Structure 1
């Protein structure tokens, strides 16, 4: 099966030759990491099967968070952990987008733009939820993830938040929302736009954004998603990979790359054929600034919150009359699957030793006569 790494190994060197002088340093680093992943260029790892003893030698993984091969298993583990943390209440999925004209600024200043999007959207949520005419809660809890791509790999930065349908009031008691309504989207979008503008002004970057952005309507969408499990499963594949998975690659030749995609609102798979240079460009434009946290937790779901998730579950269950149900409910988290399995018997592999790559050969220098 073709992989994204196969495509980048085939077309990445030529792309670097043509664009190295204009590419961001982080894009060059990611491209080189993925091209070297599991090839032996980063060293080799020796394994032995715990069941049959068969020896296996594999190229070392690059471990880069943008590499689809390295991140394929992590999404499932993250999903299981988030499912275990869901409160016994209904949930909503909120999506915060930015206008087309803002995307050019975000492309030039990704670190500042993404940080401002997170800050503005989370503050808007908390502010509107605290309004006595709205939800009237003191503390809201939610988590979200940054996405920068559309289904055809084009640049489309937006945020998804999974939000429990309620919050904690001033007395620390659970206050529930209706199952089909959380907060009105129009006031939320106005707050989001205003707070994002203020955040950029504080950074001294407001003049670099097209003025037309602030007169456009900003889209915030809110959907009821039941117990939240479906929303978590929707987000999981996108949290630990970038742009597309290996299984979507259909073909790759000397000139082009073909991949599968689905249009928004449709379940029918289509194919898109791109010039190889354009495919590499579209993939690399989603490389995140180094160290940027793309998944964030807020309020009582933050790791820094003083209340444990178990005590929150009991608090919500007591408020909704679900104590009997919660007492007999046991969350089962599937054990993580091994990264590699034996090709002979399917058993787990045991790492034996790591063999580093050979040192680079010195460049010969001419000797004076």
Structure 2
């Protein structure tokens, strides 16, 4: 994907044509992606004792747009989070929003959190009503602003505990009433959106019309294979279905200098081939970049920061802690591309490697640069 932005100076052309319409965060995150793994800015040096070779590895960008970094951090995050989740069955649920409010959510991105908060309200309400007592579930909620064809279609992916806590007791409940969830999701979302928006006749008409048009409630999807029982399966499931970039590099078939070819599969696993001008492709991708500091992944209920330790002790487990979620970021394990052995970390440089004709290619030459710089 990065190559398409760089090819034919596409990104700079796009900025020239549409710069006055771009958000600052779109420019910042895109240009971070373009510098991803650029050894001219910074890089790591590793040594393989088995091959007796040194390797330089560019620094990742962590851009919200980068498909390479997105995949890497998703896999690491999924592995760490799965180990810290409660050892109970979980269920994957998708909550959709009607097309009538997509423009509203696109323009007012602060409403994205309102949408996520509404999901946990819906879950607690449905299970509490079913059990005739207050139930607090544990939920990891991920917002996807994109659809499979890359258009703007905000929806939520939820990984929730099958059951919840009532007065420090675990209550197992594996059945989720689909029809009740649809109407409850509709009610909670519209109620919270109404509270967050200024009162106006236009907004009032919109919300009334949404109740009339969607009498069965809003979209709720419970995948047939969405029940995840073991922690090992949770990591795989999260990486594949819940947290992923808008488009993986593997879905891009080509770029001919004018148009981009890519594909996607719909809910029925039917493949669709797409082709569009490169400027449209760039526009589709960057529109999904969230506002700065916005958390696309949130932990609710029994998984919230205030309650996770308490409920983890009840189940006799560890809780999800920030150090645990960030530990992988400090432990950069890299394997040798030749022999596959784990390599040793040597140093980190914030400038490009020295030219061979000037300094030579031995690692000792690089160390001397670091020493002289430090002095």
TM-score band, normalised by the shorter chain? 0.7 to 0.9
* 8 Å Cα contact 2:120-2:301 kept in structure 1: no
Superposition pairs of residues 69-108 of structure 1, within 5 angstroms: 69-108=68-107
TM-score, normalized by length of structure 1?
Answer: 0.78
> 1:341: Cα distance to partner?
3.4
> 1:129: Cα distance to partner?
2.1
**Number of equivalenced pairs:** 329
TM-score, normalized by length of structure 2?
Answer: 0.77
> 1:142: Cα distance to partner?
1.7
Mapped pair 1:251 → 2:245: no
> 1:92: Cα distance to partner?
2.1
* 8 Å Cα contact 1:65-1:241 kept in structure 2: no
Mapped pair 1:186 → 2:179: yes
Q: Deviations over 1:184-207 (max 9, x none)?
A: 233333333333333233333464
* 8 Å Cα contact 1:75-1:239 kept in structure 2: no
> 1:150: Cα distance to partner?
1.4
**What corresponds to 1:118 in structure 2?**
116
CA distance in 1: counterparts of 2:347 and 2:107, whole angstroms? 45
1:269 to 1:157, Cα distance in 2 relative to 1, 3 A: same
SS of residue in 1 equivalent to 2:302: helix
1:76 to 1:61, Cα distance in 2 relative to 1, 3 A: closer
1:35 to 1:58, Cα distance in 2 relative to 1, 3 A: same
Of residues 214-223 and 66-75 in structure 1, the stretch that sits farther from structure 2 once superposed is: 214-223
**What corresponds to 2:170 in structure 1?**
174
Equivalent of residue 274 in structure 1, options 254, 276, 285: 276
CA distance in 1: counterparts of 2:157 and 2:273, whole angstroms? 26
* 8 Å Cα contact 2:142-2:243 kept in structure 1: no
**What corresponds to 1:291 in structure 2?**
293
Equivalent of residue 155 in structure 1, options 152, 157, 166: 152
1:116 to 1:280, Cα distance in 2 relative to 1, 3 A: same
1:57 to 1:314, Cα distance in 2 relative to 1, 3 A: closer
> 1:226: Cα distance to partner?
4.5
Of residues 60-69 and 206-215 in structure 1, the stretch that sits farther from structure 2 once superposed is: 206-215
Unaligned 5+ segments in structure 2 are 318-327, 354-375
**What corresponds to 2:6 in structure 1?**
9
Unaligned 5+ segments in structure 1 are 316-334, 359-369
* 8 Å Cα contact 2:79-2:235 kept in structure 1: no
SS of residue in 1 equivalent to 2:74: helix
Structural RMSD (CA): 2.9
CA distance in 1: counterparts of 2:309 and 2:6, whole angstroms? 48
**What corresponds to 1:362 in structure 2?**
none
* 8 Å Cα contact 1:239-1:295 kept in structure 2: no
SS of residue in 2 equivalent to 1:65: coil
Q: Deviations over 1:90-145 (max 9, x none)?
A: 332221110011111111112x22111011111121123222x4463442222121
* 8 Å Cα contact 2:118-2:189 kept in structure 1: yes
> 1:313: Cα distance to partner?
3.5
1:60 to 1:87, Cα distance in 2 relative to 1, 3 A: closer
SS of residue in 2 equivalent to 1:298: strand
CA distance in 1: counterparts of 2:276 and 2:339, whole angstroms? 40
> 1:18: Cα distance to partner?
1.0
Mapped pair 1:343 → 2:345: no
**What corresponds to 2:348 in structure 1?**
353
CA distance in 2: counterparts of 1:193 and 1:36, whole angstroms? 42
Q: Deviations over 1:303-322 (max 9, x none)?
A: 3215456534459xxxxxxx
SS of residue in 2 equivalent to 1:56: strand
SS of residue in 1 equivalent to 2:22: coil
CA distance in 2: counterparts of 1:103 and 1:232, whole angstroms? 31
CA distance in 1: counterparts of 2:252 and 2:141, whole angstroms? 28
CA distance in 1: counterparts of 2:181 and 2:121, whole angstroms? 10
Q: Deviations over 1:329-358 (max 9, x none)?
A: xxxxxx999564333333325242313379
* 8 Å Cα contact 1:54-1:344 kept in structure 2: no
Relative to its length, the structure with more helix (as a share) is 2
* 8 Å Cα contact 1:137-1:167 kept in structure 2: no
Superposition pairs of residues 282-321 of structure 1, within 5 angstroms: 282-305=284-307, 307=309, 311-314=313-316
**What corresponds to 1:331 in structure 2?**
none
SS of residue in 2 equivalent to 1:286: coil
* 8 Å Cα contact 1:143-1:298 kept in structure 2: yes
1:25 to 1:70, Cα distance in 2 relative to 1, 3 A: same
**What corresponds to 1:221 in structure 2?**
221
SS of residue in 1 equivalent to 2:111: helix
**What corresponds to 2:265 in structure 1?**
262
Equivalent of residue 140 in structure 2, options 134, 139, 143: 143
1:135 to 1:269, Cα distance in 2 relative to 1, 3 A: farther
